[in-house]
Structure 1
Amino acid sequence: MKHDFDFSNKTVVITGASSGVGKAIALELARYGARLVLAARRKEALEELALECEQLGTEALAVPTDMNAITEIRALAAKAVEFGGSIDAWINNAGVLAAGPVEDVPAEVNEQVIKTNLTGYIHAAHTIIPYFKNQEHGILINNISVGGWFPTPYSAAYTASKFGLCGFSQALKGELHGWDNIHVCDLYPAFLDTPGMQHSANYTGKELKPVPPVYSPQKVAEAVAELIDCPQPQKTVGLTAKLLRLAFLVFPTISRTATVFVIRRYLKRAKAIEYTSGNVLEPVLYGTSAEGGWQKKTGSSSSSVRKGIVVAAAAGLLIGLLLSRSRQHS
């Protein structure tokens, strides 16, 4: 979708900017002239992205930041203000994933998932809200994902972090009631074609391959631009996300059971691999693009965990509706 936004008077901070959705957001906002402050753990990847953004005609500052460290988040905010004069929007996007039975995932990995995905967002809000109140405006965008609505078995810590983000954001919105020019926006994208799966910690012992239905991270980048232009409490990206939310909201037990069945079936057939902590504990050198290339690999769609989850959600809705009708006529 083509827009004619002019963000040349805005300074935007993007966390988790070194790849995936964060990188796509940065390049999208650069086209509209936003001054960008790019944060992630990988210094070289950030500097390369900053150069790309500058080639699109805007200013960009790379600030290597560990979102687990409150001191580094505070330093990031201070550098952003020094760079741009204010912070008009802060995009909480940094996130990690760990897959496997909860007892097989090392305790420190589960803990780090929570710290990055949930505590990191809380620390960022703790840091940025005083800036927003002082300047009497600001937009905080939390990239939560469909995982905030639909639990994923064998990703328990990830699910806990995303469900926690939903509650945190709702509470924060309540605290900011009356601050009409300060907005908290929740973003719920469906499954995305990013390097996230290559980066994930994996203790299933099997190779995971996200394939269609996946969406381009560009769609999320466009949604972020729209939220900066016209803030709203929440925005969903992709029909799949809406389907999953409805399935779990209406028939939680059936949807969860169907999902477990699909995942277990996939894991029995998938290629065996070694356990890995991925990028959860330390950053990795690979996977610095916005897209993961999964949309091009359509040949393996029949073995997709994510496609299976969508099918499970649809099945859950269908079975639940049939059971409901059966009870009404009994």
Structure 2
Amino acid sequence: MKISKLQDKTIVITGASSGAGRAAALQFAPHRCNLVLAARNEVALNEIKDECESLGARVLVVPTDTSDARAMIGLANAADDWQGGIDVWINNAGILVAGDFDRTPMAVHEQVIKTNLLGYMNGAHAVLPLFKQRGAGIIINNISIGGFLPVPYGAGYTAAKFGLRGWSEALKGELTEWPEIYVCDLFPSFLDTPGIQHAGNYTGKALKPAPPVYDPARVGQEMVNIAQHPQSNKYVGSASVLLKLSHAVFPELTTKITAFVIRRYLKNAEPIALSDGNVFNTVPYSMAAHGGFGLPGAPKAHRKYIAAALFTGFLAGLYLFKK
């Protein structure tokens, strides 16, 4: 099912209250589609609802915890009943946690898995029967380059993201008998979103994303493009491709260097209180699309050259570290 025009199509976006999900909603809205926005923070959802309606979209807000399988079935049914069926389902909701694996409570690791892995599985499990009934549909999974690149001090997050990539590949294999049902995976690099401000933090240090940091609107636009022209995998930002390649060629060294860089940063970062962040409950702050770590706006060509330079230096560091 290829959608040349998005007008009047129904798009479900989880994690729509902030970050990439909110950016995606704002990218879809001018196409005058039907947006179903889901997240735990109902206040933030209603704010983005007003913005999207002003841009021409019809909007249905459905407060939902993606880690709750029954709630996701409720979301799918509400969206399916609203405007005559779901066309695109975007799995996007996710949480971040940083800290030594053994110093981070297992309940936190478990919730990261429930949200970042089972949340996506819950979404697909809820919508696939509807897509199979219609014989068509598009699932977009916003996985991140974390599906290929391990993140030391984010072991639970890495477990979920690696699991997501494997689950999605298996699902694509199952659906080869359904040629009009697409599963499309997005692998963006680090984004300028509030996600890291919402993160569970057991490091005792203030967190910042690693450069280069990309505009989440770029991910939103890629979601729009994939909804119109589905493709199995899409890497957003040249840094994501380069990081994937680095780990493919030098897996052990890439992991060691990544850990070294994180430890060095944490050693010099400002102290901060330990926090669960938004792991178990939504938070009432920083619900914008952008996190304020970069310059919001359209991507510029020179960023590719910056990413290439960073990758060259990264490989040089790998070589020296090996020596």
The question of a shared fold, defined as TM-score above 0.5 by the shorter chain, is answered with yes
**CA distance in structure 2 between the partners assigned to 1:109 and 1:320 by the alignment:** 32
Question: Counterpart in 2 of 1:51?
Answer: 50
| Structure 1 position 196, deviation (Å) | 0.5
1:141 partner letter: I
**CA distance in structure 2 between the partners assigned to 1:152 and 1:132 by the alignment:** 34
Q: Which runs of 5+ in 2 are unaligned?
A: 297-305
Alignment pair present for 1:269 and 2:268:
yes
Question: Counterpart in 2 of 1:302?
Answer: none
Q: Which runs of 5+ in 1 are unaligned?
A: 298-306
| Structure 1 position 50, deviation (Å) | 1.0
Q: Deviations 1:31-58 (Å, cap 9, x if unpaired)? A: 1111000000001111111111111112
Question: Counterpart in 2 of 1:85?
Answer: 84
Question: Counterpart in 2 of 1:303?
Answer: none
Question: Counterpart in 1 of 2:303?
Answer: none
**CA distance in structure 1 between the partners assigned to 2:314 and 2:158 by the alignment:** 19
**CA distance in structure 1 between the partners assigned to 2:317 and 2:107 by the alignment:** 39
Contact 1:96/1:200 (<8 A) preserved: yes
Count of residue correspondences: 310
Three-state SS of the structure 1 residue aligned to 2:102 is coil
1:133 partner letter: K
Q: TM-score, normalised by structure 2?
A: 0.92
**CA distance in structure 2 between the partners assigned to 1:244 and 1:320 by the alignment:** 13
Question: Counterpart in 1 of 2:192?
Answer: 193
Contact 1:90/1:141 (<8 A) preserved: yes
**CA distance in structure 1 between the partners assigned to 2:317 and 2:218 by the alignment:** 31
Three-state SS of the structure 2 residue aligned to 1:183 is strand
Structure 1 runs of 4+ aligned residues shifted over 4 Å read 313-316, 319-324
**CA distance in structure 1 between the partners assigned to 2:251 and 2:169 by the alignment:** 21
**CA distance in structure 2 between the partners assigned to 1:259 and 1:24 by the alignment:** 28
**CA distance in structure 2 between the partners assigned to 1:314 and 1:269 by the alignment:** 25
Question: Counterpart in 1 of 2:14?
Answer: 15
**CA distance in structure 2 between the partners assigned to 1:316 and 1:25 by the alignment:** 31
Which runs of structure 2 are paired with 1:187-266 in the superposition (5 Å)? 187-210=186-209, 212-266=211-265
Q: TM-score, normalised by structure 1?
A: 0.90
Contact 1:24/1:218 (<8 A) preserved: yes
Which runs of structure 2 are paired with 1:104-123 in the superposition (5 Å)? 104-123=103-122
Distance 1:323 1:114, change over 3 A: closer
Question: Counterpart in 2 of 1:317?
Answer: 315
Question: Counterpart in 2 of 1:24?
Answer: 23
Q: Percent identity?
A: 50
| Structure 1 position 83, deviation (Å) | 1.0
| Structure 1 position 9, deviation (Å) | 2.8
What's the RMSD between the two structures over aligned residues?
A: 2.1
**CA distance in structure 2 between the partners assigned to 1:229 and 1:277 by the alignment:** 38
| Structure 1 position 210, deviation (Å) | 2.1
**CA distance in structure 1 between the partners assigned to 2:192 and 2:109 by the alignment:** 24
